[in-house]
Copies of this chain bind each other. A is one copy, B any other.
Amino acid sequence: MKRIAILGSTGSVGTQTLDVIAHDRERYSVEALTAGHNIELLLKQIEQFQPKLVSVHTKEHAEEIKLRTNNNIQVFWGAQGLLAAATDTDADLVVTAVMGSVGLDSTLAAIEAGKHIGLANKETLVSGGHLVTDAAAKYGVRLLPIDSEHSAVFQCLNGEEAKAVKTIILTASGGSFRDKTRDQLKGVTVEQALQHPNWSMGAKITVDSATMANKGLEVIEARWLFGADYDHIRVLLHPESVIHSMVEFIDNSVIAQLGNPDMRIPIQYALTFPGRHITPTAPLDLAKIGNLSFREMDLTRYPCLAMAYESGRLGGTAPTVFNAANETAVSRFLRGEISFLGIEEVIAETLEQQVVVPVRALPDIREADRWARLVASSVQPLSS
């Protein structure tokens, strides 16, 4: 039996993790769940999965949970509650599916508590790449990627020697605007940006797919997860999103992982690694899909991806600044403050103004993040 804690159990990855667990109930015990404000869903999850510990965003939520559950369950709240869920249980594996920078703190804490990590929080490796990978090595814990691309690479690397890897090839659908020229991007609306062709995801990540900022963050994550340098991480346009990513080896053999666009496959793999188990997902039907297509990635078409590579290569606080500037810019776009092309301008201007410093500890990241959000909030893009 595997003992699991899920940080962010009411979000997309959290609920799908519980769906995987529900389909093979005897294999898992749920040690801890945490949520933000979605108390009703959390209460249902508590009833179904009987965690020993839960944590929520506020004291009020915590009191409500206490009132509506039995006394066997420990209820915490806030940042300390999240850390308790990450560290103070018998969990073997902590799924870190919270959004934003709190994910980094709680992932680091879980690693230091000797927990293997099912990693679904982007900031963790983008901002804290070397802190987190150093800690994972020091405490002997596994970082098991929970997203389709990195799980694909992780699966392709199964049984292979690190020195045999030539190139990590991340596939990208191209997002909702993949068939538009840069000129055609000028007038696009928020509504158009939210139509992702293959995956149903949140607004932020759907916009990030359209700008390719999302793929840029994945490139930075891949650098840390797989110890590859940026010259050996490529992005290939693959509109159908059936090949989730690939590894090219030094003998020019390429191993790819394929599947339906169903997050439960990478989630389950992180839970069952190094084994595999039967799944509630549908099998892939390549004959029905018929065609897979591939195009070279054009970095001038997708400047956010180019800026992500540049930030990754700069290192230090640069990826944190890139990520924070992007988040701020996307929020402003979603609020109608700036245009779609304004997103990349805001990021570019913020990167332009930054002073990159090394990341020695979490405060360096927090300061860079705070600074970048401030700058990105005030930049007035020309194209808005």
Decide yes or no: A257 and B254 within 8 Å by CB, A159-B160, A236-B287 being known contacts. yes
Give, as a whole number of angstroms, the nearest-CB distance from A11 to chain B.
22
Q: Does A227 contact B (CB under 8 A)?
A: no
B155 and A158 contact, CB distance less than 8 A: no
Contact with B along A96-109 (1 / 0, CB 8 A): 00000000000000
Q: Does A289 contact B (CB under 8 A)?
A: yes
Chain A: residues with Cβ within 8 Å of the partner, total of 49
A284 to B278, CA, bound (A): 33
B257 and A253 contact, CB distance less than 8 A: yes
A294 and B290 contact, CB distance less than 8 A: yes
B250 and A259 contact, CB distance less than 8 A: no
Q: Does A291 contact B (CB under 8 A)?
A: yes
A294 and B284 contact, CB distance less than 8 A: no
B254 and A259 contact, CB distance less than 8 A: yes
Contact with B along A147-177 (1 / 0, CB 8 A): 0000000011011110010000000000000
Q: Does A301 contact B (CB under 8 A)?
A: no
A256 and B256 contact, CB distance less than 8 A: yes
B250 and A278 contact, CB distance less than 8 A: yes
A253 and B248 contact, CB distance less than 8 A: no
A292 and chain B: residue at smallest CB distance: B292
Decide yes or no: A248 and B284 within 8 Å by CB, A255-B257, A258-B256, A291-B293 being known contacts. yes
A283 to B161, CA, bound (A): 19
B252 and A255 contact, CB distance less than 8 A: no
At the interface with chain B, which of A133-141, A264-272, A325-333? Answer: A264-272
Q: Does A363 contact B (CB under 8 A)?
A: no
A278 and B251 contact, CB distance less than 8 A: yes
A165 and chain B: residue at smallest CB distance: B276
Other-chain contact of A287, B249, B262, B274, B296 (Cβ < 8 Å): B296
A251 and B236 contact, CB distance less than 8 A: no
Q: Does A277 contact B (CB under 8 A)?
A: yes
A277 and B251 contact, CB distance less than 8 A: yes
Q: Does A48 contact B (CB under 8 A)?
A: no
Decide yes or no: A251 and B281 within 8 Å by CB, A158-B160, A256-B256, A276-B164 being known contacts. yes
A251 to B268, CA, bound (A): 8
List the B side residues contacting A248 at CB < 8 Å: 283-284
A262 to B237, CA, bound (A): 25
A23 to B175, CA, bound (A): 43
A255 to B156, CA, bound (A): 7
Q: Does A260 contact B (CB under 8 A)?
A: yes
Give, as a whole number of angstroms, the nearest-CB distance from A298 to chain B.
10
A265 to B250, CA, bound (A): 10
List the B side residues contacting A253 at CB < 8 Å: 155, 257-259, 265, 269, 276
A115 to B230, CA, bound (A): 42
A266 and chain B: residue at smallest CB distance: B253
List the B side residues contacting A282 at CB < 8 Å: 252
A309 to B158, CA, bound (A): 31
A259 and chain B: residue at smallest CB distance: B253
Q: Does A246 contact B (CB under 8 A)?
A: yes
List the B side residues contacting A279 at CB < 8 Å: 250-252
Q: Does A295 contact B (CB under 8 A)?
A: yes
B287 and A294 contact, CB distance less than 8 A: yes
List the B side residues contacting A250 at CB < 8 Å: 276-279
13 A-B pairs with CB atoms under 8 Å apart are A164-B276, A251-B277, A251-B278, A251-B279, A252-B260, A253-B257, A253-B276, A254-B284, A256-B257, A287-B295, A290-B293, A291-B293, A292-B292
* Shortest Cβ-Cβ A-B pairs, 7 listed: A159-B159, A158-B159, A164-B276, A287-B296, A254-B258, A286-B294, A251-B279
